[in-house]
Structure formats: structure tokens, C-alpha cells
A = this chain, B = another copy of it.
Amino acid sequence: MPETAPPSAPAAYRPTARTVPTRARERAAYDHELVHAILDEAYICHLGFVRDGAPVVLPTLYGRVGERLYVHGSTGSRPLRMAGGTDSGRTEAPGLAVCLTVTHVDGLVLARSAFHHSINYRSVVVHGIARQVTDAEERRAALDAIVDHVVPGRSYDSRPANDRELAATAVIRLDLDEVSAKVRTGGPNDDPEDTGLPHWAGVVPLARGYGAPVPADDLDPAVALPDYLSVL
């Protein structure tokens, strides 16, 4: 046993052949904290899968519980059907190979040269096999996570799914295992010989925020705007 323990490294995903970019490797990152932050800040992901040999990319809601992502949908939707059911829960479903990607655009990067124009962004790419979730408790927790991903805490202030709704909803799980983040920050990377050109260069930040909440037409006026919305 060593006398001095090594400093504990931050938890990180192990890079694989397909999570190490061929270019701009310095932008790639694998630590849990950054990956979780990017995932938690977004509303939707882009879910890719293969159908009849061709790629399909669909935007969809998702939720995170620890190291697992959840996507839900109708039991009739294509990717959720393709993720497979289980034989009365007794056998493991074959699953569906997916790539789940989340991207934030943070700024427009204007360089003097057209070539060096870019975007400041933060993205996460998750590769893996999505599988149907059949355990009732895990399904409920997943659905809560998806609702809470839209508005944190909202699952406590809404009617939980009833048996009919649960029966109509498929939930698939994707483990955070083969994961990478990619981040570009900062100003333009113009070539030194271009810095004297008479073109403005810099970053235009994108600002995100919320408009005033719009009550449903049939909302009882006695129902006040909850605190978790008034602080948005």
C-alpha cells in the first residue's frame, strides 16, 4: 500500500476508436462532469439509428438518471419498436445500435478569412445499444426524468402516468459508456498574415432565455404560475 495515495482523477469515459476524433482532438473531452452538464442543459437530442441500411436522425426528448439516458415514445414508433421487446421480460432484447448527439451552439465565430469561420459549440456524442426498459420501477423513474429534463421538478407537479398511458409508452435506455464531448470556445483562429485585413473579427454570442409563460386557454385562473417557472 503506497504511503501517499495518488490524487484521484476525475471520473472519465474511456476513449474508443469511434470517440477519438480524427481532427481537432484537442477539442475532445471525456470527463463525466462536462458530459453531464452538456446533456442536462439541452432539451432535445438527435437520435440516429439504421433502418434498411440507411441512417435516420430524429429529434427527441430524453432524460438522464446517473449514467443512463432514457428516450420514450409511442410503442408504435419505429426506433422504439426496433429496440425490441422482451419475451415477457424473460429474455434480453437484442437492442438497437444508436448514436445519440446533443449540441449547444454558443456563438458565431467570424474570422477575417472565410476558411476560419466557425461556431462555438458544446456537443456530446453517445454510441451504444439502446434497449427496451421493461422494469416498472425503472420505467417510472425514466419518465419522471424525461419530464424533469424539460422543467426540473415538474414531475412532482403533474399527474403521473396512469396504466393506460404507461401501456402506450415505450422507454429505451442507453448507457453512458462510449461517450465523448467536444467543445469549441474562444475567438477566431486567423492566420497571422490575415490579422491586418480590414474585416471585423470576433465572436457573436448566442443568448438564450425564456419568454413570458403562456397559460393554456382552459387554465383555471386560480392556478398560479409556479415558482419554478417564475424564476426562469
Given contacts A201-B219, A206-B210, contact A108 B188 (CB under 8 A): no
Tell yes or no: A53 within 8 A of B by CB. yes
User: How many copies of this chain does one complex carry?
Assistant: 2
**CB of A97 to closest CB in B, whole Å:** 5
The answer, among B61, B114, B190, for a CB contact under 8 Å with A160, is B114
What band does the interface of chain A fall in when counting residues whose beta carbon is under 8 Å from B? 35 or more
Tell yes or no: A100 within 8 A of B by CB. yes
**CB of A11 to closest CB in B, whole Å:** 24
* Proximity bits, A158-178, B CB within 8 Å = 1, else 0: 111110010001000000000
Contact indicator A78/B159 (Cβ below 8 Å): no
Given the complex of chains A and B, what is the CA–CA distance between A216 and B186 in angstroms?
9
Give the 9 A-B residue pairs with the shortest CB-CB distance, closest first: A205-B211, A48-B57, A48-B55, A46-B46, A59-B103, A48-B48, A57-B101, A202-B215, A201-B216
